[in-house]
Amino acid sequence: MERMVYMLCMHPQLYVDVSVLQYAIARPAYVTALKTLADAGLTDRVMFGSDGGPRFLAMGIDAIEQAPFLSDKQKRDILYGNAMRFFRVGQSPPPRASRVCGG
């Protein structure tokens, strides 16, 4: 987690997906990881994916919704808002490159 926080702080364009953590580590460690990111002020760059299938999806969403240290806004951002912003849903697409790289 220390290295993840460091990378996020050094690279403001970097986001993190915590979906695999929901089933790769024990629930208390997962909650600790979310709290570490929240304490570092990085919840605006945390995204939740659907890795692991329906059972793990529900467990991961529940862990975020039950986290007492996350505000309602932070929960919405992690579960929805950050991905919407990252993928520019509802926004104008970025300008197209005028040439192909190397060409």
Tens of pLDDT, residue by residue over 19-33, are: 888 888 898 999 999
| Residue 59, pLDDT score | 86
* Domain membership flag for residue 96: no
Provide the number of structural domains found in the chain.
1
The number of helix segments (H) and strand segments (E) in the chain equals 6, 2
Q: Is residue 49 domain-resident?
A: yes
Tell me which range, 18-22, 59-63, 79-83, is most confidently predicted by mean pLDDT: 79-83
Q: Please, what is the end-to-end C-alpha distance for the chain in angstroms?
A: 40
Task: Check: CB of residue 48 under 8 Å from CB of residue 65.
Answer: no
The pair of structure tokens assigned to 18 is 């915590």
Inside any domain, residue 93:
no
Whether 99 has a pLDDT exceeding 80, the answer reads no
pLDDT of residue 101 exceeding 70: no
Residue type, 54: P
SS3 89: coil
Domain extent at residue 35:
2-86
Q: Is residue 102 part of a domain?
A: no
Write down the pTM of the prediction. Answer: 0.82
Position 100 scores a pLDDT of 45
